[in-house]
Amino acid sequence: MALTGGTGFIGSAVGEALAAAQAATTALVRAAPGAPVPGRRLVRGDLSTPSSLPDLVAGADVLVHAASYVGADPELQEAVNAAGTAHLVRAAREAGVRRLVYVSTAGVYGGTLRGGEREDEAVVAPGSTLNASRRAAEQVMLAAGGLVVRPHLVFGAGDRWFLGALLPLVQALGAQIGDGQALVSVIDRLTLGRVVAALALGDAPAGVYHAALVEPVRVGELVALAHAATGVALPTAVLGADEAAQRLAPFGVRPSQLALVTADSWFDSRAVWAATGLVPPARPVIDEPAAAWYRALLARH
Closest CA to 116 of 63, 26, 184, 195: 184
Element (H, E) at 166: helix 163-173
Query: Can you give the pLDDT at residue 31?
Result: 73
Taking residues 172-177, what's their average pLDDT?
Answer: 94
Element (H, E) at 142: helix 129-143
CA distances from 177 to 67, 115, 246, 259, 285 (A): 31, 20, 12, 10, 21
Over pLDDT 70: what percentage of the chain?
98
State the pairing for strand pair 40-44/25-29. Answer: parallel
Per-residue pLDDT, averaged over 108-130, amounts to 96
| 62 in Cβ contact with 201 (< 8 Å) | yes
Q: Are 63 and 92 in contact (CB under 8 A)?
A: yes
In whole angstroms, give the CA distance from residue 85 to residue 133: 10
Decide which of 81 and 257 is more confident.
81
- What pLDDT band is residue 146 in, cutting at 50, 70 and 90? very high
Give the C-alpha separation, 25 to 18, whole Å. Answer: 8
Over the stretch 35-62, which tens digit does the pLDDT of each residue have? Answer: 566 678 999 999 999 999 999 999 999 9
- The DSSP bridge partners found for residue 267 are 117
- Confidence band of 32 (pLDDT split at 50, 70, 90): low
pLDDT of residue 70: 95
> Is residue 60 helix, strand or coil?
coil
Range name among 26-35, 58-67, 87-96, 137-146 with the lowest pLDDT average = 26-35
- Dump pLDDT digits (tens) for 211-265: 999 999 999 999 999 999 999 999 999 999 889 989 988 878 888 888 889 999 9
Q: pTM higher than 0.85 for the full model?
A: yes
Q: Give SS3 for 253.
A: coil
With a pLDDT cut of 90, the percent of the chain lying above it is 90
Query: What integer pLDDT is reported at residue 243 of this predicted model?
Result: 92
Q: Would you state the pLDDT for residue 10?
A: 98
Picking from 16, 15, 17, the residue whose alpha carbon sits closest to that of residue 26 is 15
